[in-house]
Amino acid sequence: MADDDDVPQGVIVCVRLRPMFVKRPDGTPGREATCQRVVEMEGKAEKGVGCAVTKIYDPNDMSAEPRSYAFDRSWWSCDGSKDDPERPGFRIPDGPDSKYVDQDMVWQDVGEIVMKNALKGYNCTVFAYGQSGCGKSYSVVGDSPNWGIIPRTVKALFDVVDGNTDPDVRYNVEIAMVEVYMDEVYDLLEPRKKERQKLNVFNNKGEVFIYDPKDRKNMDKIWRACSNHDKAESFRKMGDANRSIRATGMNPESSRGHTLFILRFRKEVKRGGWVEEFRSKLCLVDLAGSERAHDTGLTGVGLEEGIAINQSLSALGQCLVQLCKGERVNHPDKLTKLLSESLGGNAVTVMIAALSPADINYNDTVSTLRFADNAKKMPVKVKKQLDPTAELIRQLQEENAKLQAQLQSMGSEEIEKERRDWEDKLAAADKKVQDSQKALEDMKANAESNSRVRMVRAKTGIVDEALTVDELEAKVKELEDLKNNSDSKLEELNIEISKLQARIQELGGPEEAEKEQDELVDLMRHKTSNQAHNAALQEQQKDTLAMLMEARLGEIERLQDARDAVRLEALKVKKDGGTDTQAQEECLAKLEEQLVLARNDCESMSEKAVEVGMGKIFRAAILALHRQDEDSKVQYLQDQLSILQASADQDAAQVRRLEEEGAAALAEAQKAAEEAKEAAEFALQEKMEHVQASSQR
Ligand code: ADP
Ligand code: MG
């Protein structure tokens, strides 16, 4: 498609240098009043605005050769600015020689890329990365009058939508705004409550779904329809007010969570007899910044937030590295999962790395530059988001038009034949459309369960389609060992932490024991990651066990099926007047033997199932199989009986024996049925409790 040729294939990496904090608003010296600048930008960017090269000097040796990076854009917003006389408070370059890049210029550059491609039907993502207080929110959100990318995108999109006068073009815009806070996802467009509802995230075939687990029927719950700009703005402001922020030593309004502002829009264009339709998503992300406990001065919840932020950012960095190497990426946390649509490479992606010019931030700035450099290497293949049914119809319509043109140039007999062929083709095509629609619906319905199965496989590291019971059993054992190991490590960490806490108290509190406090932070970080690891292991254990149970139950079922088939064979021999069923009897005995073993295996698994809270469900499944077994036995005996009764040479004794056996089996079957029913009820209860517990969490 010619259209695809000018779609940027690769992340567009921009870096932006903020001003030095030399003065506070009240005029007193700022945090960086005595710092020297270690970042320089030079040349002219090949495309867009700004410089071509970013250089960073080592503050310990300013005369040494600097590290140099050629990103797509280097935006200098460090100095050389003044207030715009026409717009009080709006910063613009202070003269023709100034390198200063203001908010209008950033928008001209990024806005053009984003709007152009989004309106053509490509997903677009813009995300800002960098140390806390370096200007991520300033670029992405901004404030009056220096508005950033999000409010300007909303405005630009509605300029297009509201300004549309073409009756053949229709737009539909929806907004969602979510926050990832301590590795949980929350809807920012819900009125903020003390207990916020956690949302689930899953990626199905490259598309990310965010939904309320308590309201699975309404998978579009987070999306708010927006008919005009005012409505969109009021949603944006509401979401902004609901974000988790906290004053830290680095930023008085530090974002404590990552914010995703997503615009989803559909464009329908009537083209002759068919409608071209596509949906694209514009995802604008204001990440929380990396931070050091030492600089933020936070303790308690604030400190834990910082640890969660750093953890999710390093997971994101890890993801980028894996993508660059072409490795399989399993998204370890909510942030990378949410961004997987863009990180998967199917979005026009712009990254803005926010930099501090100050020498005190040298190490963090170097690591931000390294992250940006990795992002540059990420492979991207952007696809147009066409509606598959609409695309199919378009192809068929094209074919239709071609056929009609052919008809014009044919004789009457030929036409008749061609017409019939053509009708057949159309009927087949109709069916194709219907099938594809059906498949689409099925796909949507199955999306969640499919993704769960894949998730289990990814989490357990098992990718083969068919797994043997032995392999699963080995995995259960391995996970058990890992979990035990991890438990004892956690125990050790807890002991270390209490010791250190006592020691800090002894020394007179955190101020007096700086080294110990740093060590404590380290240990707490370890503990958090260990706890997460532990929880992940437990989940894996549960998932693997569930798979093993399924495999074991499947084994019993297969054996029972095989046994029933042999029983039928034996009955057939007898019905045909034969008496020699020795081969069948032997086979039956062997199968029964194997069944006993398989059932014992299942029984011994029951305890483990109880441990992971699936005891009742498993028990119910075993009893249901038992019931099936008893029913089959009754049937077998009754069939034998009727064959015997029908035959001329009745053996009264044998009939009686079978009658007795039949009655006993029937009683047993009734008992099994009752037990199975009761167990099923309990299992249902267990499931309900589980659902309730997880929704309260
Ligand atoms: P972050 O979101 O990275 O933590 P912010 O965007 O909140 O950082 O920026 C921290 C402070 O620096 C804010 O007061 C912001 O106004 C200021 N700032 C950041 N970038 C710029 C810039 N390019 N020009 C002027 N001020 C800036
Ligand atoms: Mg911020």
Atom of ligand 1 nearest to the CA of 131: 3
Beta bridge partners of 178: 187, 260
Cα first-last separation, the chain: 49
Å from CA of 94 to ligand 2 middle: 26
Residue 194 amino acid letter: K
CA-based nearest residue to 239, from 140, 344, 372: 140
- Ranges in the chain, pLDDT < 50: 1-3, 440, 443-465
Bridging pattern class, strands 254-255 and 245-246: antiparallel
Contact between residue 13 and residue 72 where contact means Cβ atoms under 8 Å apart: yes
Atom of ligand 1 nearest to the CA of 143: 16
* Ligand lying closest to the C-alpha of residue 248: 1
Atom of ligand 1 nearest to the CA of 250: 4
Contact between residue 130 and residue 136 where contact means Cβ atoms under 8 Å apart: yes
pLDDT at residue 270, rounded to an integer: 86
Å from CA of 355 to ligand 1 middle: 10
Å from CA of 130 to ligand 2 middle: 9
CA atoms of 352 and 142, how far apart (whole Å): 14
Distances (CA, A) of 654 to 3, 458, 585, 642, 647: 84, 58, 17, 12, 12
Q: Whose CA is nearest to atom 22 of ligand 1?
A: 18
Question: Ligand 1 pocket: which residues have CB below 6 Å?
Answer: 18-19, 77, 130, 132-138, 251, 253-254, 289, 354
Of 14, 18, 76, 259, best ligand 1 pocket probe by most atoms within 8 Å of the beta carbon: 18
Å from CA of 249 to ligand 2 middle: 13
Å from CA of 248 to ligand 2 middle: 11
pLDDT at residue 202, rounded to an integer: 83
Q: Whose CA is nearest to atom 9 of ligand 1?
A: 135
Å from CA of 305 to ligand 2 middle: 14
pLDDT at residue 407, rounded to an integer: 61
Of 82, 131, 137, 138, best ligand 1 pocket probe by most atoms within 8 Å of the beta carbon: 138
Q: Whose CA is nearest to atom 6 of ligand 1?
A: 135
402 assigned to a ligand binding site: no
Q: Whose CA is nearest to atom 21 of ligand 1?
A: 18
Atom of ligand 1 nearest to the CA of 21: 12
Q: Whose CA is nearest to atom 20 of ligand 1?
A: 135
613 assigned to a ligand binding site: no
| Residue spans of alpha helices (H) in 121-265 | 136-140, 149-162, 229-242
Overall residue count recorded for the chain in this entry: 697
131 assigned to a ligand binding site: yes
Distances (CA, A) of 185 to 128, 172, 199, 202: 19, 25, 5, 12
CA atoms of 249 and 132, how far apart (whole Å): 10
Å from CA of 377 to ligand 1 middle: 27
pLDDT tens, 8-18? 767 899 999 99
Cα 421–chain centre separation: 47
Å from CA of 654 to ligand 2 middle: 87
Kindly give, in sequence order, each residue whose CB lies less than 8 Å from that of residue 363, ignoring residues fewer than 6 positions away: none
- Long-range CB contacts for residues 570-575, cutoff 8 Å, separation at least 24: 571/636, 571/639, 571/640, 571/643, 574/640, 574/643, 574/644, 575/643
Contact between residue 298 and residue 306 where contact means Cβ atoms under 8 Å apart: yes
Residue the block writes with tokens 């119809």:
393
pLDDT at residue 145, rounded to an integer: 96
254 assigned to a ligand binding site: no
Q: What are phi and psi of 245, to 5 degrees?
A: -125, 160
134 assigned to a ligand binding site: yes
Cα 427–chain centre separation: 40
Atom of ligand 1 nearest to the CA of 253: 7
135 assigned to a ligand binding site: yes
Q: Whose CA is nearest to atom 17 of ligand 1?
A: 135
* Ligand lying closest to the C-alpha of residue 142: 1
User: pTM of this prediction?
Assistant: 0.60
Å from CA of 11 to ligand 1 middle: 23
Q: Whose CA is nearest to atom 10 of ligand 1?
A: 133
